[in-house]
Amino acid sequence: MEVAEKKVVGIHYKLTDDDGKVLDTSEGGQPLVFIHGIGMLIPGLEKALVGKSKGDSLKVAVKPEEGYGQRDDNLTQMVDKSQFDNAEEIQIGTQFQVDTPQGALIVMVTEITDNQVKIDGNHPLAGVNLNFDVTIEEVRDATAEELEHGHVHGPGGHNHG
Ligand code: ZN
């Protein structure tokens, strides 16, 4: 069976940047399982997997446009520490949700000065070239229930206990 829209696909993957630094990997854990074609993966990776079968390995280079997008400097902002209830607990890398006119946005603290905190709403991988090493572990039809729920059931997926 080949990877196509609405198949459940399980992959092991390793993600590195252009310097070879490992950004993410499924090694040592469960394969990543997802329903293909409903936007659960970044477009560049999803596209490259179409037509592949269980046991196939491939390398996929994904540009930011088909990954997490380009960085947008408008999404960074300096905020006075006095705006935070818990200013003393904030560290670089702290993430939290803010409400914006466009909806909720996850931001990360990227800089701390004496009086201010810099928050960044860009995805941490925005503007980064992504290099995936992928092995396909599983391809099967999604059940009607999985399609209805929009997620995979069973190992590595959603468990409704
Ligand atoms: Zn479900």
Distance, CA 86 to ligand 1 centroid (Å)? 36
Chain centroid offset of residue 153 CA: 19
The closest alpha carbon to 134, from 46, 63, 5, 4, belongs to 46
- Are 58 and 21 contained in the same domain? yes
- Are 78 and 33 contained in the same domain? no
Does 159 reside within a domain? no
- Spell out, as residue ranges, where the chain has pLDDT lower than 70: 161
Could you tell me the two tokens for 82?
């006095």
Phi–psi pair at 56, nearest 5 degrees:
-70, 140
| This model's pTM is above 0.85 | no
Does 155 reside within a domain? no
Residue ranges making up the domain that contains 140: 7-68+126-149
CATH number of the domain that 95 lies in? 2.40.10.330
Distance, CA 114 to ligand 1 centroid (Å)? 46
- pLDDT at res. 68: 94
Distance, CA 159 to ligand 1 centroid (Å)? 7
Total number of domains in the chain: 2
- Are 135 and 102 contained in the same domain? no
- pLDDT at res. 147: 95
CATH number of the domain that 13 lies in? 3.10.50.40
Does 139 reside within a domain? yes
CA distance 51 to 36: 11
- pLDDT at res. 102: 79
Does 157 reside within a domain? no
The closest alpha carbon to 110, from 119, 123, 121, 99, belongs to 119
Phi–psi pair at 37, nearest 5 degrees:
90, 5
Does 55 reside within a domain? yes
Distance, CA 11 to ligand 1 centroid (Å)? 20
